[in-house]
């Protein structure tokens, strides 16, 4: 239930990120932590931490209060999974 709601919120955020040249992928939800992978322009943006904390994390927590934080998996980490 929580994971499906998280994915739904992420899907709602995608158009905004795509319009800025980026994108987002859901990786997993585990122990009240959402793991994502930012793509495109978002992956290397200097505002990435702010986007995650004040944008993505806040949006997810408003719908799924059990979420404690959102963590971005870097490209290097993603490649080694």
Residue 53: is its pLDDT beyond 80?
yes
pLDDT of residue 75: 67
pTM: 0.90
DSSP 6-69: HHHHHHHHHHHHHHTTEEEEEEEEETTEEEEEEEEGGGG-TTHHHIIIIIIIHHHHHH-TT--E
Tell me which fold the domain 2-79 belongs to: GMP Synthetase; Chain A, domain 3 (3.30.300)
**Do residues 63 and 9 lie in contact, with contact meaning Cβ atoms separated by under 8 Å?**
yes
Q: What is the pLDDT of residues 28-48, one digit of tens each?
A: 999 999 999 999 998 888 889
Stretch 56-74: mean pLDDT: 95
Cβ neighbours of 6 (radius 10 Å): 23
pLDDT of residue 79: 64
Stretch 5-16: mean pLDDT: 96
Question: Alpha-carbon distance 4 to 48, whole Å?
Answer: 24
């Amino acid at each position: 239930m929580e994971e499906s709601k998280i994915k739904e919120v992420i899907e709602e955020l995608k158009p905004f990120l795509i319009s800025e040249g980026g994108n987002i992928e859901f990786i997993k939800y585990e122990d009240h932590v959402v793991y994502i992978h930012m793509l495109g322009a978002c992956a290397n943006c200097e505002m990435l931490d702010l986007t995650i904390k004040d944008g993505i994390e806040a949006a997810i927590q408003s719908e799924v209060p059990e979420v404690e934080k959102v963590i971005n998996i870097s490209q290097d980490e993603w490649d080694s999974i």
